[in-house]
Amino acid sequence: MVNHYRTASFLTSASKASQFPEHDMLEVGFAGRSNAGKSSAINTLCDQKALARTSKTPGRTQLINFFPVNEEHCLVDLPGYGYAKVPEKMRKEWQKLMESYLGERKQLRGLVIIMDIRHPLKDYDVQMLEWCEEMGTPAHVLLTKADKLKKGAASKQLLGVRKALKDEEFDVTVQMFSALKKTGMEELQKVLNGWLGVVV
């Protein structure tokens, strides 16, 4: 499959809604807990080592970063959430920023919610899924770090997450992913291509 996302480049960062770029590009957002492997997943998808900055300190990314792929499509890296050491004031600002983006961004076509396969469906993950449901935004769950588990254990986690989401009546798709081994790349690309109307 042709990787449509290799041409992604950094455009701008925003710490408040007034700084969101004004453009007509269709956007896909990436959200996840601070240590779930979000930046690594974006870098792997785009076949670039340092497009999204990975940090050894979870909770560092408190900005929304915009990465246009071309003149029509843009990937959006949302601030990592759920890290205990983040002060309450920052957490409130994070919530306000996320609500502005998810609630008001007309260009948003879908949200990839990234969870560590070993620790899925934490409170903030569920909150993100609820937001998507409320806003009518399609969501796709990416269970990262699949290489950290044996094949059988990883498959069991995938089935468990699918069942839990179905029980809660969340209408979302779920897949395994490994940035290290690049497994799940085609599946992720197909989801994004579908949302953005990319013909390959």
Is the pLDDT confidence value at 193 over 70? yes
User: What's the confidence (pLDDT) of residue 108?
Assistant: 98
**Token duo for residue 143:** 């269970």
User: What's the confidence (pLDDT) of residue 58?
Assistant: 54
Q: Who's near 57: CB < 8 A, 6+ residues apart?
A: none
User: What's the confidence (pLDDT) of residue 153?
Assistant: 97
Task: Find where tokens 């989401």 sit.
Answer: 165
Contact by Cβ (8 Å): 39, 77: yes
Is the pLDDT confidence value at 132 over 70? yes
Average pLDDT in the chain: 92
User: What's the confidence (pLDDT) of residue 59?
Assistant: 54
What pTM was computed for the model?
A: 0.94
pLDDT band at 195 (very low <50, low <70, confident <90, very high): very high
Annotated domain spans of the chain: 12-195
CATH level 2 (architecture), domain 12-195: 3-Layer(aba) Sandwich (3.40)
pLDDT tens column, 69-114? 999 999 999 988 876 677 788 888 888 898 899 999 999 999 999 9
Q: Who's near 32: CB < 8 A, 6+ residues apart?
A: 38, 80, 81, 113, 114, 115, 125, 142, 144
- Provide mean pLDDT across the span 17-37: 95
User: What's the confidence (pLDDT) of residue 61?
Assistant: 55
Is the pLDDT confidence value at 10 over 80? yes
User: What's the confidence (pLDDT) of residue 60?
Assistant: 54
